[in-house]
């Protein structure tokens, strides 16, 4: 095969992508004031408020969120069909998978370990406990200039890939709309798919990870793994800023 697999870097969203539902949304819907929470979730998805602002408001408008409550929600979360197979495929072919999440490491780690994916690298936000015992959100990976996202996925893509790498992204939601603009191959569903449509960004639609695996195998076989010009220019611009 012409492609050196080590040149292909695969970035994957977690909530709503690797798992079928969104842990954060589920948590606050379950334990918060339903009407207020739905309004905040809609604002986050429409990007009328920043992700950081969104997380803060969700915590403010919910009865005490505890680790136990998060555990209860995390227990109900299920891995999307085909992810096991895709993970094995990636392992067998030396493809690097990196999870980029605008959720929290506490539950991501738990779910990954429970499902025997504990060796996967991920970058996410963190939860901390205040002196009053309340949990609050911490954002260790924000971007200095962009105030929008909590965990800057774009920066992780830039720092985890070299200029001659080919980058691939698999996602579903509003936190994926920025990073997909910087990658070569996109797999999209839900809101992300609509975003790509509206903005004329080429993508591959997927339902399960079997779809992702099959499409990727076809692209590899047909040697259609290549850089996307627009993404390359956008990445170059970021590299030039240092």
The H or E element that residue 97 is part of is strand 96-104
CB nearer to Mg ion: pick between 82 and 173: 173
Positions in the binding site for Mg ion (CB under 5 A)? 13, 15-16, 172-173
Q: What is the closest distance, in whole angstroms, from the C-beta atom of residue 102 to Mg ion in the complex? A: 7
Rounded-to-integer distance, Cα 116 and Cα 136, Å:
28
CB nearer to Mg ion: pick between 100 and 225: 100
Q: What is the closest distance, in whole angstroms, from the C-beta atom of residue 132 to Mg ion in the complex? A: 30
In the complex, which residue's CB is closest to Mg ion?
A: 16
Question: Shortest CA distance to 182 belongs to which of 233, 220, 135?
Answer: 233
Find the DSSP H helices in the chain. 23-31, 34-46, 51-60, 67-76, 83-92, 105-114, 153-159, 190-198, 209-221, 229-241
Using DSSP's 3-state secondary structure scheme, residue 74 falls into: helix
The H or E element that residue 171 is part of is strand 166-171
Q: What is the closest distance, in whole angstroms, from the C-beta atom of residue 16 to Mg ion in the complex? A: 4
CB nearer to Mg ion: pick between 15 and 26: 15
Q: What is the closest distance, in whole angstroms, from the C-beta atom of residue 229 to Mg ion in the complex? A: 27
CB nearer to Mg ion: pick between 54 and 173: 173
CB nearer to Mg ion: pick between 15 and 184: 15
Question: Bridge-partner residues for 56, per DSSP?
Answer: none
Q: What is the closest distance, in whole angstroms, from the C-beta atom of residue 68 to Mg ion in the complex? A: 24
């Amino acid at each position: 095969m012409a492609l050196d697999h080590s040149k292909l870097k695969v970035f994957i969203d977690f909530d709503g992508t690797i798992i079928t539902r969104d842990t954060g949304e589920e948590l606050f819907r379950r334990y918060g004031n339903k009407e207020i929470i739905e309004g905040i979730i809609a604002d986050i998805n429409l990007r009328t408020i920043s992700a950081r602002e969104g997380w803060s408001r969700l915590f403010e408008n919910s009865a005490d969120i505890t680790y136990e409550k998060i555990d209860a929600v995390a227990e109900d979360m299920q891995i999307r069909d085909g992810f096991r197979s895709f993970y094995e495929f990636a392992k067998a072919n030396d493809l690097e998978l990196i999870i980029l999440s605008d959720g929290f490491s506490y539950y991501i780690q738990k779910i990954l370990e429970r499902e025997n994916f504990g060796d996967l690298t991920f970058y996410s936000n963190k939860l901390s406990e205040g002196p009053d015992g309340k949990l609050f959100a911490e954002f260790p990976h924000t971007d200095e200039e962009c105030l929008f996202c909590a965990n800057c996925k774009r920066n992780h893509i830039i720092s985890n890939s070299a200029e001659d790498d080919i980058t691939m992204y698999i996602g579903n939601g509003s936190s994926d709309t920025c990073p997909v603009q910087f990658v070569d191959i996109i797999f999209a569903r839900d809101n992300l798919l609509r975003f790509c449509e509206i903005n004329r960004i080429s993508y591959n639609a997927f339902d399960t990870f079997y779809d992702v695996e099959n499409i990727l195998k076809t692209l590899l076989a047909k040697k259609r793994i290549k850089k996307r010009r627009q993404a390359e220019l956008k990445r170059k611009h970021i590299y030039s800023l240092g």
